């Protein structure tokens, strides 16, 4: 039979999928009836706090929420975002021009390059990293330049060693702290360095701040916008997904430079019709709450972190407790690749992890473990690892 159609050539830009062998192995291990412990997914296992769900139930009963939403988001939601930024970071935002509602931050990150990049434009991005920076860039016809995150550079890109030729060519720079997958954090001095760099070379700074609220031991991750000059050169993506266990709801925001937000908003208004008003109303309740739900969530994650990291250390693994995010970025045992260790854990212990190189070549030599399972499952995982020796 002749092929009915050829998919667009741009789908060929998607990097080769490395994990067919792992997926097959997972299916085979499952079929054997093994009780799988999945430390692979970055999706909270805990439910959305009850008061947010209740607000949604009320809101959805109101027919006023059943219409097309405003493109850039409800004024009331954008005002709540501005209040939350003021309260949490001391950052003042104009809700009209400096806040844009998103259908989850992935949506905004993926669409941004369509609004700021011309074909062949170069975007800088840290690697390993969230794949959407790369895919959004490629779908917009742009090119990617990866800045490796390694133990030697504390998982912070070394901006001083980017060739001026590359920097002059660059249009945007994607970075993400607290970081997925390395769990690294950045201080305001690093953000100030980013502002200088982006100002010097006219680069749009794009900070993905999805994990600022998941932090431990009293640590409070900063917003990029806390740094003077940040909003002149860039924007920040934020999301209710990780903060309030709302991944399925699809609600996020972009804040900062009004011209960059307008470019993104123009793309969006021609592609989607905004986030459901009832979800935004529930989001307002979340942002305006006393944030005790976030503290409770972090306490649970911190206990899990201590169990997992403490247990791994006892078993001789070389791992440090993350200050933020719900990930543990663990070096694989000497002489093994990320893939080999992932396969080993799956086959021998029924434990699913993410091989670091799957999120970018510099991630080779690591696996990512997520704290998104209850502590008894983490203890079970540790018991199985202990048996493995």
Ligand X SMILES: *Cc1c(COP(=O)(O)O)cnc(C)c1O
Q: Smallest distance from the beta carbon of 130 to ligand X, in angstroms?
A: 4
Which conformational region is residue 64 in: left (phi greater than 0), alpha (psi within -120 to 50 degrees), or beta?
alpha
- Residue 387 CB, shortest distance to ligand X, in Å, is 32
CA-to-CA distance for 331 and 338, rounded, in angstroms? Answer: 8
**Would you say 194 or 349 has its CB closer to ligand X?**
194
Q: Rounded to the nearest whole angstrom, what is the least distance from the CB of residue 297 to ligand X in the complex?
A: 15
Sorted by sequence, the CB contacts under 8 Å of residue 252 that are 6+ apart come out as: 101, 102, 103, 104, 105, 106, 107, 108, 237, 238, 239, 240, 241
Say which DSSP state 253 is in: E
210 binds ligand X (CB under 6 A): yes
Cα distances (angstroms) measured from residue 280 to each of 94, 125, 241:
18, 30, 13
DSSP class of residue 11?
G
Site string for ligand X, 226-255 (x = CB under 6 A): -------------x-xx----x----x---
Minimum CB separation of residue 133 from ligand X in Å reads 9
Candidates 79, 98, 208, 213; binder of ligand X (CB under 6 A) is 208
Residue 42 neighbours by CB under 8 Å, 6+ apart = 180, 326, 327, 370, 372
Q: Report d(CA 65, CA 141) in Å as an integer.
A: 37
Candidate list 123, 126, 127, 180; residue touching ligand X; CB under 6 A: 180
Query: Site size for ligand X, by CB under 6 A?
Result: 14
Minimum CB separation from ligand X for residue 181, in Å? 8
Contacting ligand X within 69-98 (CB under 6 A): none
Residues 23-62 that bind ligand X (CB under 6 A): 42
176 binds ligand X (CB under 6 A): yes
Region binding ligand X by CB under 6 A among candidate stretches 8-16, 102-110, 117-125, 134-142: 102-110
- CA dist., res. 386 & res. 350, Å (int): 13
Quote the strand ranges of the chain, DSSP E.
Answer: 37-38, 99-102, 122-127, 143-148, 170-176, 204-208, 234-239, 252-256, 327-331, 351-352, 354-355, 366-370
Binding mask 117-156 for ligand X (x = CB under 6 A): -------------x--------------------------
The nearest distance, CB 209 to ligand X, in angstroms, is 9
Name which position in 40, 104, 350, 362 contacts ligand X (CB under 6 A). 104
Q: Which is nearer to ligand X, 241 or 372 (CB)?
A: 241
Phi–psi pair at 129, nearest 5 degrees? -165, 175
Using CB under 6 A, list all residues that contact ligand X: 42, 104-106, 130, 176, 180, 208, 210, 239, 241-242, 247, 252
């Amino acid at each position: 039979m002749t092929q009915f159609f050829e998919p667009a050539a741009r789908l060929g830009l998607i990097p080769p999928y490395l994990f067919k062998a792992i997926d097959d192995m997972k299916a085979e291990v499952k079929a054997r009836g093994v009780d799988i412990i999945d430390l692979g997914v970055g999706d909270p296992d805990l439910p959305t706090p009850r008061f947010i769900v209740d607000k949604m139930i009320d809101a959805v009963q109101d027919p006023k929420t059943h219409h097309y939403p405003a493109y850039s988001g409800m004024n009331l939601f954008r005002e709540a975002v501005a209040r939350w930024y003021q309260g949490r970071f001391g950052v003042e935002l104009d809700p009209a021009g400096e806040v844009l509602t998103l259908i989850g931050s992935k949506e905004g990150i993926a669409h941004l390059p369509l609004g700021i990049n011309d074909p062949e434009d170069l975007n800088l991005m840290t690697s390993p990293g969230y794949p959407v920076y790369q895919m959004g860039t490629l779908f917009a016809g742009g090119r990617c330049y990866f800045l490796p995150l390694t133990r030697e550079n504390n998982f912070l890109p070394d901006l001083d060693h980017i060739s001026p030729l590359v920097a002059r060519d660059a249009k945007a720079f994607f970075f993400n702290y607290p970081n997925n997958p390395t769990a690294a954090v950045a201080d305001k001095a690093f953000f100030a360095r980013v502002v200088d760099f982006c100002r010097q070379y006219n680069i749009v700074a794009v900070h993905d701040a999805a994990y600022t609220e998941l932090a431990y031991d009293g640590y409070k991750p900063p917003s990029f916008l806390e740094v003077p000059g940040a909003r002149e050169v860039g924007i920040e993506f934020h999301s209710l997904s990780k903060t309030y266990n709302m991944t399925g709801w699809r609600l996020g925001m972009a804040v900062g430079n009004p011209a960059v937000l307008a470019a993104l908003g123009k793309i969006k208004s021609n592609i989607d019709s905004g986030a459901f008003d009832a979800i935004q109303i529930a989001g307002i309740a979340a942002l305006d709450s006393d944030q005790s739900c976030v503290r409770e969530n972090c306490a649970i994650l911190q206990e899990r972190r201590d169990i997992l990291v403490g247990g791994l250390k006892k078993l001789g693994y070389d791992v440090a407790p993350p200050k933020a995010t719900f990930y543990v970025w663990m070096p694989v045992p000497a002489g093994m690749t990320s893939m080999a260790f992932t396969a080993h854990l799956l086959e021998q212990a029924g434990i699913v992890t993410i091989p670091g190189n799957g999120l970018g070549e510099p991630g080779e030599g690591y696996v990512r473990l997520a704290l998104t399972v209850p502590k008894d499952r983490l203890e079970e995982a540790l018991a199985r690892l202990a048996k493995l020796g």
